[in-house]
């Protein structure tokens, strides 16, 4: 029996990866080239070649929050403190893994695509810890994220294909196939979330906006999409942009009209007791398709 | 964002790495106006007052986005 056990384990270990590979192929998943460095990731997901023909869209996007998803308000590297303390923190001398950087699920979703090695997670953690803004600014949610990986949820995107709102077989570089998701709130909802993210060892909760859209806006008669309000005329700027304070204030002001009524009078709860009072009534209405605030 | 806890107790948590579930939702919901009435007692013998109402959004301490500001001169002698 002692001799049989190692043999059985050996067979099992060999069979499981083989089956997993077969399942991947059966689902039509694309095996991408192995990405082993941040430089490789930046290069693979660069939007620079798109800029040549889509300059206006590139310009809109480059001013958006999507072009700097690792930089918070006031240009701070907001992930630094999560690696320093709390459930995602790195111990001294420990190499970072995807379990320390679960925020990339939405802040840099290409990190979780097949073919990105664990070494890239450690390199990203090091860039965050060093405050290497020059590198972090090159990591973004660019064209290939939404027009590639996120444009397909039923299975995997096809190799060498881009996705858009219409089919363009002669598109330079890669053919474009129509994906209905590009005009559907679900493409945004993949990151602007539903609620708790339980996919990782350390579960967490960040954006819940799509949940609000689905469970509060739609049930009360809402019919607009995320794109209707945040991408008018296909504008890829997609506000809010918290780095532009004046513009963000104006956007929120329009989304949250406020009505105020004020009345002054003398209140008399009992004889000889007269109290000057002012009564302020406020009414704030939410015209957005989701709770405010949310993300 | 709604006020979140870690789903292990009743304490509010700050930071997405610690949040897991809501404790209380005080946000402004779509199609549901939020109405408030504030009754303010004034010092004795006050007959006129200026009321300023301001609404701002502060996603982080120090990051204030002013939205509305209205001022009303109110007299009690009507």
pLDDT tens digit string along A250-273?
999 999 999 999 999 999 999 999
Verify whether the Cβ–Cβ distance B35 to A282 is below 8 Å. yes
Rounded CA-CA distance B38/A282 in Å is 8
The pTM score is 0.87
Verify whether the Cβ–Cβ distance B53 to A86 is below 8 Å. no
ipTM: 0.94
How many A×B Cβ pairs under 8 Å? 161
How far does the CA of residue B6 sit from the closest CA of chain A (Å)? 8
Domain ranges for chain B: 3-75
- Tens-place pLDDT, residues A99-143: 999 999 999 999 999 899 999 999 999 999 999 999 999 999 999
Among the partner residues A212, A222, A283, nearest to B33 by beta-carbon distance: A283
Domain ranges for chain A: 31-146, 254-284
- Tens-place pLDDT, residues B9-53: 999 999 999 999 999 999 999 999 999 999 999 999 999 999 999
């Amino acid at each position: 029996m002692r001799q049989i056990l190692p043999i059985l384990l050996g067979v099992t270990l060999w069979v499981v990866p083989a089956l997993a590979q077969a399942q991947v192929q059966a689902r039509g998943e694309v095996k991408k080239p192995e990405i082993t460095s941040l430089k490789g990731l930046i290069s693979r997901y660069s939007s620079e070649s798109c800029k040549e023909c889509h300059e206006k869209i590139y310009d809109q996007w480059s001013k958006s929050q999507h072009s700097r998803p690792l930089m918070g308000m006031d240009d701070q590297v907001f992930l630094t403190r999560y690696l320093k303390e709390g459930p995602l923190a790195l111990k001294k001398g420990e190499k970072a893994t995807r379990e320390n950087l679960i925020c990339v699920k939405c802040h840099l979703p290409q990190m979780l695509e097949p073919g990105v090695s664990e070494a890239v997670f450690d390199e990203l953690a090091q860039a965050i810890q060093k405050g290497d803004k020059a590198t972090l600014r090159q990591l973004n949610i660019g064209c290939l994220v939404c027009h590639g990986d996120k444009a397909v949820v039923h299975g995997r995107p096809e190799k060498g294909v881009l996705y858009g709102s219409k089919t363009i077989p002669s598109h330079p570089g890669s053919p474009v196939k129509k994906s209905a998701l590009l005009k559907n709130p679900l493409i945004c909802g993949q990151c602007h979330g539903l609620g708790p993210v339980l996919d990782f060892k350390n579960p967490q909760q960040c954006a819940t906006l799509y949940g609000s859209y689905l469970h509060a806006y739609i049930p009360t008669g809402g019919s607009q999409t995320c794109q209707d309000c945040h991408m008018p005329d296909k504008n890829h700027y997609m506000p809010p942009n918290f780095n532009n304070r004046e513009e963000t204030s104006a956007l929120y002001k329009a989304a949250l009209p406020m009505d105020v009524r004020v009345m002054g009078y003398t209140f008399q709860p009992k004889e000889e007791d007269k109290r000057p009072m002012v009564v302020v009534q406020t009414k704030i209405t939410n015209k957005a398709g989701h709770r405010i605030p949310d993300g | 964002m709604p006020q979140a806890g870690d789903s292990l107790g009743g304490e509010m948590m700050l930071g997405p790495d610690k949040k897991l579930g809501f404790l209380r939702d005080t946000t402004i919901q779509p199609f549901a106006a939020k109405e408030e009435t504030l009754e303010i007692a004034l010092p004795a013998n006050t007959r006129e007052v200026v009321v300023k109402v301001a609404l701002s959004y502060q996603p982080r301490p120090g990051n204030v986005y002013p939205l509305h500001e209205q001022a009303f001169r109110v007299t009690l002698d009507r």
